[in-house]
Amino acid sequence: MSEINKKSPQKLRVVIVGAGFGGIACARELLGKPEVDVTIVDRHSYHLFSPLLYQVSTAGLPDDDIAYPVRAAVRGAHYQRGEAIDVDATGKQLVLLDGKRLAYDALVLAVGTEGNDFGIPGVAENALQMKSLAEAREIRKALLGTYEEVAAGHLTPEALHTVVIGGGPTGVELAGAVAELQRGLAREFSEIAKEAGVELVEAGPRLLPSFSEKSSSTALRDLKQLGVNVFTGVGVTKVGPQEVLLSDGRVLPAGVIIWAAGVAAPKVWSKLGETAAGNRLMVDDTLYLKDGIWVIGDASLLRDEAGRPLPQVAPVAMQGGRHVAKQILRMRDGLERERFRYKDKGQMATIGRRRAVVELPNGLKLTGTPAWLAWLLLHVAYLAGGRNRLSVVADWAWNYIAWGVGPPRTLTD
Amino acid sequence: MSEINKKSPQKLRVVIVGAGFGGIACARELLGKPEVDVTIVDRHSYHLFSPLLYQVSTAGLPDDDIAYPVRAAVRGAHYQRGEAIDVDATGKQLVLLDGKRLAYDALVLAVGTEGNDFGIPGVAENALQMKSLAEAREIRKALLGTYEEVAAGHLTPEALHTVVIGGGPTGVELAGAVAELQRGLAREFSEIAKEAGVELVEAGPRLLPSFSEKSSSTALRDLKQLGVNVFTGVGVTKVGPQEVLLSDGRVLPAGVIIWAAGVAAPKVWSKLGETAAGNRLMVDDTLYLKDGIWVIGDASLLRDEAGRPLPQVAPVAMQGGRHVAKQILRMRDGLERERFRYKDKGQMATIGRRRAVVELPNGLKLTGTPAWLAWLLLHVAYLAGGRNRLSVVADWAWNYIAWGVGPPRTLTD
């Protein structure tokens, strides 16, 4: 046989579903590696910096401060806009909603989660979720719109109450930010502003259950100082259009109801393997599922040495993405897969302006202004893109300096 | 009769329809004056800085950089969200779409204009307008979306052409900005970027007909340098979903078609009086219509000493607003109305980055970088609100510094 017929070494085709923290980290690790062809699939053309979604929801940041083009984030990778809905494991193809198929040698599912209402009646119809920019804009529109509607006499003043369901970091940050937005609107709506309020409902015994008890009580105290009414140890039994029913029989009237109590991985991937609570796919300790398929981030479940599932946070997804990138190359090179070891980065939540709780893996805990500054620096550092960083810093600086002077952003359409 | 029965002097109720440049200027002039009650009606709760709409359309600025809350812009005035649709001249009431009625002693119509297609078939169905933030976002989404669609193979490369109809300041600024956006996208879409193009169509013999011939030719040269294909002296006979038919028989294929060729005041107000071209209400030389009704800005028509209609630009609206505010107070005080004298402020249009044409009323003309700097400073100075100014300056600085390095904003949903 002549040399000319020798098949050129085929590039390894890696397809990554999801342009979140895990998917982007995985793609970046693979870029520039020889003979690797990376395609990233997402329904949105931007990487969303979801830790700041609550600030878009509460009129602190404009929406595109926290969106960064996928193509720019992973230059050298292919970007395919679309919604992945199935895997043809035999043909090794990913199937998109529009019928398109993408062949892969390795498939990385970094699909994240969506809201999970645990079957509580009325959540889907009456509560707002906060998983996408569109939903964050919807919340902002609802928060600001109720002021307009109450001012115009179309709604009763009770509509100025916002109920946030779920006392994890998202619910705590959101409740604090809503309370501060309400204070920010007090000048433009002086005749009705005193009717406004925020209720935060957590079914468990304390806020921030993944944090220490000390951090929980700090968060509780800080939220109370902002005027948030906190309900712990009480569940939600039903959500109506203008009210939330609690398990102890109390009824909380509300103009805006936000669901931050639970998430689940998209159901469509559950058929690929064994799942745990929240549709999380059980992976082996290398993050491998089977047949060239890997699952990283919130959609996967791996337990640490103590048997606890790794938390659904960005550092787990990013470390998982980089780990899987390396393992894909090892498998190609005929090497064994290595075990994934999560390096704990600690956790943090901010509560309004100038307050936060931070827990470092060495046991150090910060509260108050130092915690808030740490939170702020870390979020700016991890934002993708110089423009977004500059823009967020300028917006935060202005919000901070002009507090009580300038009006909040009030674009509602 | 006892003193106690003496009716307290009733406040003069001034209702202003429209929170544009004219309406806001009128309200501000009236605020703080004794015994005046000002209500401003608009369908949006924000004042829109419309001269920069084209930058939102072309991904240069985020949408809420150019929106400022009406309530904050005119503190002390009442703001009524709603769409005014009629006047009950007998009862002296303004009628809103939702049936609400607002009593007035003086009514100021500052309703601006909307797109006018002159009956050309297909414009309404196939061309995008750029009069509101929602429309600007629609244009941005279409411009960026065609790149995604062409990259995905859903559209042919011809869709990367944008046709702008209308060679006035709006069309010129928009065409230049689209050309620069296309250059900005060349890196992320390197495989298809060379297929992109911009066509600008003007029915009259030259661009910027209200400017001098020298400025026209400067604009033409600048646009050509940016790669814009300019067609003058040729009309549009029909607009299809993917093409524009010209009066000379040529067909321009396009993925995005933008109408910037003509505006008209909302037809609903035409019944109030005699109208000229574009539904502009003829007012007397004090800007008074009749029965306590005044019309200012783009929706009104007043001729200067040479018999030319005053141009539909922000300075005319702002000066008219302040003039009418003073006349309303004069009428209340039993004084005669004074004639409105427009103080010409000149005109300007920017063409891409670092180029502009400026014509001052003293005959001085600027081009190139000095004109662009003058344009930039004036726009920042006239923006409402410190946050918007800071944000626009930060965004422009970044756009300028990062040109060719950072990606443009590409939020499409």
User: Which of A181, A398, A399 to mutate to test binding with chain B, by most B CBs within 10 Å of its CB?
Assistant: A398
DSSP B309: B
Using a CB–CB cutoff of 8 Å, tell me whether A181 touches chain B: no
Report the chain A residue with the minimal C-alpha distance to residue B43: A413
Q: Is B413–A387 a contact, with Cβ atoms under 8 angstroms apart?
A: no
- Kindly list the residues from chain A whose CB atom is less than 8 angstroms away from the CB atom of residue B63: 62, 411
Q: Is B387–A409 a contact, with Cβ atoms under 8 angstroms apart?
A: yes
Mean pLDDT of B209-220: 95
The minimal CB distance from A402 to the residues B71, B386, B409 is found for: B386
Report the chain A residue with the minimal C-alpha distance to residue B400: A387
Q: Domain spanning B117-261 has what CATH number?
A: 3.50.50.100
Q: What is the DSSP string of A310-326?
A: PPSSHHHHHHHHHHHHH
Residues B145 and B410: their CA atoms lie apart, in Å, by 9
The minimal CB distance from B64 to the residues A387, A398, A409 is found for: A409
Report the chain B residue with the minimal C-alpha distance to residue A137: B413
Residue B7 banded pLDDT, cuts 50, 70, 90:
very low
pLDDT recorded at residue A228: 98
Angle CA A63–A69–A75, to nearest 5: 160
The burial class, CB within 10 Å (0-12 / 13-18 / 19+), for A33 is middle
Residue B157 contacts residue B192 (beta carbons within 8 Å): yes
Name residues whose C-beta falls within 8 Å of residue B220's C-beta, 6 or more positions apart in sequence. B206, B207, B230
Residue A3 banded pLDDT, cuts 50, 70, 90:
very low
The label of the residue with tokens 């608009």 reads B42
- Kindly list the residues from chain A whose CB atom is less than 8 angstroms away from the CB atom of residue B67: 409-411
pLDDT recorded at residue A7: 38
pLDDT at A9 over 90: no
Residues A389 and B253: their CA atoms lie apart, in Å, by 39
Name residues whose C-beta falls within 8 Å of residue A326's C-beta, 6 or more positions apart in sequence. A29, A338
Q: How far is CA A47 from CA A43, A294, A373, B64, in A?
A: 10, 20, 25, 21
Using a CB–CB cutoff of 8 Å, tell me whether B389 touches chain A: no
pLDDT at A34 over 60: yes
Q: Is A410–B81 a contact, with Cβ atoms under 8 angstroms apart?
A: no
Residues A73 and A27: their CA atoms lie apart, in Å, by 9
Q: Domain spanning A123-261+346-401 has what CATH number?
A: 3.50.50.100
pLDDT recorded at residue B12: 95
The label of the residue with tokens 């004069």 reads B330
Closest CA to A358 of A212, A220, A207: A212
Closest CA to A175 of A157, A145, A197: A197
pLDDT at B238 over 80: yes
pLDDT one-digit tens code per residue, A332-368: 999 999 999 999 989 999 998 889 999 999 989 999 9
- Kindly list the residues from chain A whose CB atom is less than 8 angstroms away from the CB atom of residue B391: 62, 391, 394-395, 398
Tell me which of B399 and A51 has the higher pLDDT: A51
Closest CA to B22 of B268, B335, B333, B340: B340
The label of the residue with tokens 């950089």 reads B65
pLDDT at B153 over 90: no
Q: Is B134–A188 a contact, with Cβ atoms under 8 angstroms apart?
A: no
Residue B4 banded pLDDT, cuts 50, 70, 90:
very low
Q: Which residues of B364-392 are buried (b: 16+ CB within 10 A; e: fewer)?
A: eebbeeebbebbbeebeeebbbebbbbbb
pLDDT recorded at residue A5: 33
Beta-carbon pairs below 8 A across chains A and B: 110
Residue B273 contacts residue B287 (beta carbons within 8 Å): no
pLDDT one-digit tens code per residue, B81-134: 999 999 998 999 999 998 999 999 999 999 999 999 999 999 999 999 999 999
Closest CA to B56 of B143, B162, B169: B143
- Is the ipTM value over 0.90, yes or no? no
pLDDT at B397 over 50: yes
Strands A243-246 and A251-253: antiparallel
Residue A38 contacts residue A70 (beta carbons within 8 Å): no
Residues B22 and B8: their CA atoms lie apart, in Å, by 31
Q: Find the catalytic residue in A29, A135, A173, A359.
A: A173
Residue B390 banded pLDDT, cuts 50, 70, 90:
confident
DSSP A190: T
The whole-chain average pLDDT of chain B stands at 92
Residue B410 banded pLDDT, cuts 50, 70, 90:
low
pLDDT recorded at residue A327: 98
Closest CA to A40 of A64, A67, A73, A1: A73
The minimal CB distance from B411 to the residues A67, A385, A395 is found for: A67
The minimal CB distance from A45 to the residues B75, B148, B397 is found for: B148
Q: In CATH terms, are A11-43+82-115+264-332 and A123-261+346-401 the same topology?
A: yes
Q: Which residues of B327-351 are buried (b: 16+ CB within 10 A; e: fewer)?
A: bbbebeeeeebeebeeebebbbbbb
Residue B159 contacts residue B257 (beta carbons within 8 Å): no
A180 tagged catalytic: no
- Kindly list the residues from chain B whose CB atom is less than 8 angstroms away from the CB atom of residue A407: 68-69, 71-72, 385
pLDDT recorded at residue B222: 96
Percent of chain A exceeding pLDDT 70 equals 95
Closest CA to A159 of A169, A150, A170: A150
The whole-angstrom distance between B27's CA and the closest CA on chain A is: 16
Largest distance between two CA atoms of chain B: 89
Q: Is B398–A387 a contact, with Cβ atoms under 8 angstroms apart?
A: yes
pLDDT at A241 over 80: yes
Percent of chain B exceeding pLDDT 90 equals 77
Residues A344 and A149: their CA atoms lie apart, in Å, by 46
Q: Is B390–A409 a contact, with Cβ atoms under 8 angstroms apart?
A: no
Three-state DSSP class for A163?
strand
Instruction: Identify each DSSP E strand in A153-290 by its residue range.
Output: 161-165, 197-202, 228-232, 236-240, 243-246, 251-253, 256-259, 263-264, 275-276, 280-282, 288-290
Q: What is the DSSP string of B359-409?
A: E-TTS-EEEHHHHHHHHHHHHHHHSSSHHHHHHHHHHHHHHHHTTTTSPPP
Angle CA A353–A358–A361, to nearest 5: 165
Q: Which residues of A284-296 are buried (b: 16+ CB within 10 A; e: fewer)?
A: eebbbbeebbbbb
Using a CB–CB cutoff of 8 Å, tell me whether B391 touches chain A: yes
pLDDT recorded at residue B187: 85
pLDDT recorded at residue A2: 32
Residue B400 banded pLDDT, cuts 50, 70, 90:
confident
Q: Is B71–A407 a contact, with Cβ atoms under 8 angstroms apart?
A: yes
- Kindly list the residues from chain B whose CB atom is less than 8 angstroms away from the CB atom of residue A136: none
Q: Is A45–B69 a contact, with Cβ atoms under 8 angstroms apart?
A: no
* Amino acid at the residue B184: G
Report the chain B residue with the minimal C-alpha distance to residue A402: B387
Q: Which residues of B111-145 are buried (b: 16+ CB within 10 A; e: fewer)?
A: bbbebbbeebebbeebbbbbbbbebbbbbbbbbbb
pLDDT recorded at residue A405: 62
- Kindly list the residues from chain B whose CB atom is less than 8 angstroms away from the CB atom of residue A45: 144, 148, 410, 412
Q: How far apart are the first and last CA of chain A?
A: 68
Q: Which of A104-118, B192-206, B320-334, B366-380 has the lowest mean pLDDT?
A: B366-380
Hey, what are A359's tokens? 């827990």
Mean pLDDT of A158-186: 95
pLDDT recorded at residue A387: 76
CB interface of B with A, residues 224-283, below 8 Å: none
CB interface of A with B, residues 53-112, below 8 Å: 62-65, 67-69, 71-72, 75, 80-82
pLDDT recorded at residue B382: 85
Q: Which of A42-56, A369-383, B237-251, B331-345 has the lowest mean pLDDT?
A: A369-383
pLDDT at A32 over 90: no
Strands A263-264 and A114-115: antiparallel
User: Which of A388, A411, A412 to mutate to test binding with chain B, by most B CBs within 10 Å of its CB?
Assistant: A411
Residue B411 contacts residue A67 (beta carbons within 8 Å): yes
Residues B310 and B298: their CA atoms lie apart, in Å, by 9
Q: Domain spanning B10-113+265-332 has what CATH number?
A: 3.50.50.60
pLDDT recorded at residue B413: 66
pLDDT one-digit tens code per residue, B259-317: 999 899 999 999 999 999 999 999 999 999 999 999 999 999 999 988 899 999 999 99
Closest CA to A201 of A259, A148, A130, A241: A259
pLDDT at A31 over 70: yes
Residue A347: enclosing H or E segment and its boundaries? strand A347-350
The whole-chain average pLDDT of chain A stands at 92
Q: Which of A297-301, A305-309, B336-340 has the lowest mean pLDDT?
A: A305-309
- Kindly list the residues from chain A whose CB atom is less than 8 angstroms away from the CB atom of residue B385: 406-407
Residue B6 banded pLDDT, cuts 50, 70, 90:
very low
Strand order in the sheet with A161-165: A228-232, A197-202, A161-165, A256-259
Mean pLDDT of A169-174: 96
DSSP B312: S
pLDDT recorded at residue B2: 32
pLDDT at B5 over 50: no
The minimal CB distance from B188 to the residues A71, A81, A411 is found for: A71
Q: Domain spanning A11-43+82-115+264-332 has what CATH number?
A: 3.50.50.60
The minimal CB distance from B46 to the residues A152, A399, A411 is found for: A411
Q: Is B402–A387 a contact, with Cβ atoms under 8 angstroms apart?
A: yes
The minimal CB distance from A406 to the residues B134, B385, B413 is found for: B385
pLDDT recorded at residue A413: 66
- Kindly list the residues from chain B whose CB atom is less than 8 angstroms away from the CB atom of residue A185: none
pLDDT one-digit tens code per residue, B38-75: 999 999 999 999 999 999 999 888 888 899 999 989 98
Query: Cα torsion at A51, A57, A58, A64 (round to 10°)?
Result: 80
Tell me which of B17 and B149 has the higher pLDDT: B17
List chain B domain ranges: 10-113+265-332, 117-261, 347-402
* Amino acid at the residue B149: E
The minimal CB distance from B64 to the residues A44, A406, A411 is found for: A411
pLDDT at A233 over 70: yes
